[in-house]
Amino acid sequence: MIPALRGTRDILPGEVEKWQYVERTARALCERYGYVEIRTPVLEREELFAKGTGEATDIVQKEMYAFTDKGGERITLRPEATPSLVRAYVEHNLEQSMASAKLYLMGPMFRYERPQKGRYRQFHQLDVEVFGLSDPAIDAEVIDLAWTLVETLAIPSAELVINSVGCSECRPQFQKALLAALGEDLPKLCEDCQRRATINPLRIYDCKVEADQPIIDRLPHAVDYLCEACQAHFGGVKRQLDAWEIPWRISHRLVRGLDYYTRTTFEVLGQTLGAQNALLGGGRYDRLVEHLGGPDRPGIGFAAGMERLVLALPESVAGDRVQAFVVGIGDDGRAEALRLLRELRRAGVSAQMEFETKSLRGQMKRADRLRARQTLIVGGDELARGEVTVRNMENGEQRPVKRAEVVADVRHSALGIRHSETTTGDV
C-alpha cells in the first residue's frame, strides 16, 4: 500500500458534498457580482512567482515546488493564483476584450509548508481579482463579495478586519517611524524579526512569536502615516462598508510588506479554526501589473482557502438524496422496474435500484440505506392493475399511481422538495 503524500488529502464521499456546496455557493455569488471564471495552468515559470509573489517571501524562498523540467526550464507548481491572473490579463490583453476585468478562479495551490489542521501542501483557493479599477467602491465590492460568501455559508462568528498600508508616497515615512520605534527593542525580537528588519521591516507585524508580541503591540500604526490621497481612499472604503452595513474592525497588524501592495488590506477570520484562523485574505496591489511587465493598472482581490471554508461550515451539509428507489418483485416486476428506472433518470429524477438482491426486504433495506425519499414498487399485483405503488419513505404512506403517470408524479414531487429546501432561494 502506497499512502498519499504528507500534506495532501483525498476528499472522500461524505465530505465531497460539502465541497460541492461551497463551490456552488462561491460560483453563484461571483457570477451574481459580475465576476467571470478563468482557468490557468497549475504549472508556471518559476520566475513568475519570484517576481509576482516576491523573492524575499517564505513562499518563494522555502515553499515552492519548483524544479527543472526535462527541457531544462525552471518551472513550479503554482503556490498562489494572483501572479497567474496578472500574467493572463496582460498576455491576452483582457482589458480590451472584457467589459470589465473582474475574474475568479478556483483550483489547487501548492506550498511546501508544515502540515497541520487547516494547513496543507496541496490546498485549494477561490481567487477573485479585479484589474483596472481604483475607486474605493470597488474595494468595498470585493470585500462585500468575500463577506457575503462567508455569511451565505453561515460560518459562525466570522470577523472582518481591514487596514490600509498606504502607497509609495507615504509608506517610507511609516517604515521610518517603525524602525525608529523599534530602536533599542530590536535586539530583543526573534531571529526572524532581526532578519525582517533589514530586508522588509513591515513583515515584523506578521510575527507570531509569543515573546515578541508586547513589543510589536507598541509599534506605530500604518493608518497614522497615510498621505491625503490614501486617507481619502480608506475613508471611502469604510464609508461604503458602513453604508452596506458590513461590520469591520481595523487590525493594525494587517500589513503586507511588498512594494506593490498598496492601500486596502483585509482578512476574514474564523473562530473555529484554531491557529489557522484566516478564512481569506486580500488587498489592493496597484503596482503589481506593471511590476510583471504589463501596463500601469491597479488591481485588487482576495484568496479564500476552500479547506478552511469547508472546515468552518456550521454542520454537515447533506448531499442531494436519492429521489426515487425502484423495487421490482418477480421477473416481470423486475423487468418493468428496470424500464421505469431509465425513464425516471431520463426525466431528470435521481433514481436507483438494487441489482443483486431480489427479495423485497433486501431491496427496501437498500432504499433505507440510501435515504431515498420515495420507493416505487412494481410487483405482480401492480403490473396487473397497470399501477406502481409509491411509498413515501419519510412517513411510510403508500399510494397507487397509474404506471403512465408515475414518472410525472415523482418528478413533480422531487421538484417540489427541491424548491422548498432552497430556503434562501438564492444559490
Residue whose grid cell is 491576452: 92
- Output 100 or 122, the one with its CB closest to ligand AMP: 122
- Binding residues for ligand AMP restricted to 118-147, rule: CB under 6 A: 118-120, 123, 125
Asked if 328 touches ligand AMP (CB under 6 A), the answer is no
Rounded (to 5) percent helix, strand, coil in the chain: 45, 20, 35
Instruction: Measure Cα distances from 164 to 122, 137, 160, 173, 238 in Å.
Output: 30, 15, 14, 14, 11
Q: How many residues comprise the chain?
A: 427
What's the 3-state SS for 139-181? HHHHHHHHHHHHHHCCCCCCEEEEEECCCCCCHHHHHHHHHHH
- Binding residues for ligand AMP restricted to 211-250, rule: CB under 6 A: none
- Least Cβ distance, residue 276 to ligand AMP (angstroms): 7
- Binding residues for ligand AMP restricted to 389-418, rule: CB under 6 A: none
| Distance between CA atoms of residues 390 and 402, nearest Å | 10
- Output 83 or 220, the one with its CB closest to ligand AMP: 83
- Binding residues for ligand AMP restricted to 52-91, rule: CB under 6 A: 80
- Output 19 or 352, the one with its CB closest to ligand AMP: 19
* Residue among 305, 328, 333, 379 that touches ligand AMP (CB under 6 A): 305
- Least Cβ distance, residue 132 to ligand AMP (angstroms): 22
Three-state DSSP at 417 gives: helix
Neighbours of 401 (CB within 10 A): 17
Asked if 111 touches ligand AMP (CB under 6 A), the answer is yes
Total residues in contact with ligand AMP, by rule CB under 6 A: 17
With left for phi above 0 and alpha for psi between -120 and 50, is residue 163 left, alpha or beta? Answer: beta
| Distance between CA atoms of residues 104 and 35, nearest Å | 6
- Output 8 or 100, the one with its CB closest to ligand AMP: 8
C-alpha cell at 227: 498621505
Site stretch for ligand AMP (CB under 6 A), options 68-76, 94-102, 111-119, 257-265: 111-119
Site stretch for ligand AMP (CB under 6 A), options 83-91, 217-225, 236-244, 299-307: 299-307
Asked if 308 touches ligand AMP (CB under 6 A), the answer is yes
- Output 220 or 281, the one with its CB closest to ligand AMP: 281
- Output 307 or 382, the one with its CB closest to ligand AMP: 307
Spatial CA neighbour of 105 closest among 140, 130, 75, 141? 130
- Output 280 or 377, the one with its CB closest to ligand AMP: 280
The kind and range of the H/E element at 2 are none
- Least Cβ distance, residue 355 to ligand AMP (angstroms): 41
Indicate the DSSP class of residue 244: T
Q: Per-residue b/e over 219-245, b at no fewer than 16 CB within 10 Å? A: bbbbbebbeeebeebbebbbebbeeee
C-alpha atoms less than 13 angstroms from C-alpha of 15 in its C-beta half-sphere = 11
C-alpha atoms less than 13 angstroms from C-alpha of 277 in its C-beta half-sphere = 13
- Output 123 or 147, the one with its CB closest to ligand AMP: 123
Instruction: Measure Cα distances from 312 to 105, 152, 155, 279 in Å.
Output: 21, 12, 6, 9
Which DSSP string corresponds to 81-100?
Answer: SHHHHHHHHHHTTHHHHSSS
- Binding residues for ligand AMP restricted to 335-364, rule: CB under 6 A: none
- Least Cβ distance, residue 139 to ligand AMP (angstroms): 16
* Residue among 38, 289, 303, 326 that touches ligand AMP (CB under 6 A): 303
- Least Cβ distance, residue 119 to ligand AMP (angstroms): 4
Q: Per-residue contact track with ligand AMP, 262 to 291, x per CB under 6 A?
A: ----------------xxxx----------
Site stretch for ligand AMP (CB under 6 A), options 116-124, 183-191, 222-230, 319-327: 116-124
- Least Cβ distance, residue 11 to ligand AMP (angstroms): 13
- Least Cβ distance, residue 365 to ligand AMP (angstroms): 40
- Output 124 or 233, the one with its CB closest to ligand AMP: 124
- Which residues here bind ligand AMP, judged by CB under 6 A? 80, 111, 113, 118-120, 123, 125, 278-281, 303-305, 307-308
